[in-house]
Amino acid sequence: MPINVLFAATPERWATYEPALRRAFGGAGLNVYLAQEIPADDVDYIVYAPNSELQDFTPYTRTKAVLNLWAGVEAIVGNTTLTQPLARMVDPGMTRSMTEWVTGHVLRHHLGMDRHILDQSGDWTPVVPPLAEERRVCVLGLGELGTSVARTLQSLRFSVSGWSRSPKDVAGINTFHGDAGLDDALRQAEILVLLLPDTPATHNTLDARRLALMPRGAFVINPGRGPLIDDDALLAALDSGQIAHATLDVFRVEPLPADHPYWAHPRVTVTPHIAAETRAKTASEVIAENIRRGEAGEPFLYLVDRSLGY
């Protein structure tokens, strides 16, 4: 019996994903459809982007799993019509992309690149940066992405700590967990990277009290999700010099509204949610493996815990 896979994402993604999914399956036994091409009750699996038009899963009575194309599931996890297993995206290409993006922005701040790319003012004032081993970087979230980021920074000899909900043991990383652990982690965060999911428990993780715990003049890098940060508190911390610079890839409202104070702030870098895109080739291989598992009666990979929201 062929397996029917519905591709429910924005239509412009189809041209990239259709061949990638077929290739990942080796061409055997897989039909891939756009929504209008197949009756809902013939669909075995849904490859899903939360910004697709599909929001009511009730008609998909035969569907065995919904396979999210994004790592973040906050826009779908509360959908009460979705009763099938939901897998989030763990894509090696996305992980490498996030690791490269964060490493680049950590190095920018660590090395003081902005200061040392000289302009025509001719200000020749060298400020020698510390070595990486003298710089303390903290990664909030030690999941797929945070662990890869932490390991890569550690391999460059940064002094790396990390924080997660449950205890972790990552070689070479000083790990913290739970609420008390967060305060301790922040006290040593000269460069802070936020890679937590957007859940009710993570909203405003970085608030005024916690920003004040960080070493004065620290840097904040947020490729996680906008609601992790209390924006007013961050702006106040930037104005007071408690935070030297914030590099922000994600926001409560995207695109970031034209009148948002982040645009005009001299010590904020705004990037357009570009840190880590899902890569069709590697993501399709992950999707194919999960469908293979579903057909073989094996447990799905990367299932979302609906009670935790990630």
Catalytic residue among 23, 96, 267, 273: 273
Q: Is 142 near ligand NAP (CB under 6 A)?
A: yes
Task: Indicate the DSSP class of residue 285.
Answer: H
Q: What angle do CA 196, 202, 204 make, to 5 degrees?
A: 110
Residues in the chain: 310
For the chain, the straight-line distance linking the first and the last C-alpha, in angstroms and rounded, comes to: 33
Q: Is 164 near ligand NAP (CB under 6 A)?
A: yes
225 labelled catalytic: yes
Integer Cα distance of 254 and 23 in angstroms? 33
Q: Which of 143, 226, 227, 294 binds ligand NAP (CB under 6 A)?
A: 143
Integer Cα distance of 302 and 138 in angstroms? 25
Q: Which stretch binds ligand NAP (CB under 6 A): 22-30, 48-56, 269-277, 286-294?
A: 269-277
Q: Which of 243, 276, 288, 291 binds ligand NAP (CB under 6 A)?
A: 276
Q: Is 210 near ligand NAP (CB under 6 A)?
A: no
- Shortest CA distance to 194 belongs to which of 232, 164, 221, 165? 221
Residue 69 CB, shortest distance to ligand NAP, in Å, is 11
Residue 157 CB, shortest distance to ligand NAP, in Å, is 23
Q: Which of 17, 102, 105, 144 binds ligand NAP (CB under 6 A)?
A: 144
CB of 273 or CB of 293, closer to ligand NAP: 273
CB of 100 or CB of 295, closer to ligand NAP: 100
Coil, helix or strand at residue 253: coil
Coil, helix or strand at residue 101: helix
Q: Is 132 near ligand NAP (CB under 6 A)?
A: no
CB of 145 or CB of 191, closer to ligand NAP: 145
Q: Is 273 near ligand NAP (CB under 6 A)?
A: yes
Q: Is 68 near ligand NAP (CB under 6 A)?
A: no
CB of 145 or CB of 206, closer to ligand NAP: 145
Q: What angle do CA 122, 125, 131 make, to 5 degrees?
A: 135
Instruction: Tell which phi-psi region holds residue 112, choosing left (phi > 0), alpha (psi between -120 and 50) or beta.
Output: left
What are the strands, taking DSSP E only, across 148-190? Answer: 159-164, 174-177
Integer Cα distance of 236 and 110 in angstroms? 22
273 labelled catalytic: yes
Q: Is 279 near ligand NAP (CB under 6 A)?
A: no
Catalytic residue among 88, 105, 110, 225: 225
Radius of gyration of the chain (CA): 21
H or E stretch at 220:
strand 218-222
Q: Which residues are catalytic?
A: 225, 273
Binding site for ligand NAP (CB under 6 A): 71-72, 94, 98, 141-146, 164-166, 195-199, 201-202, 223-225, 249-250, 273, 275-276, 310
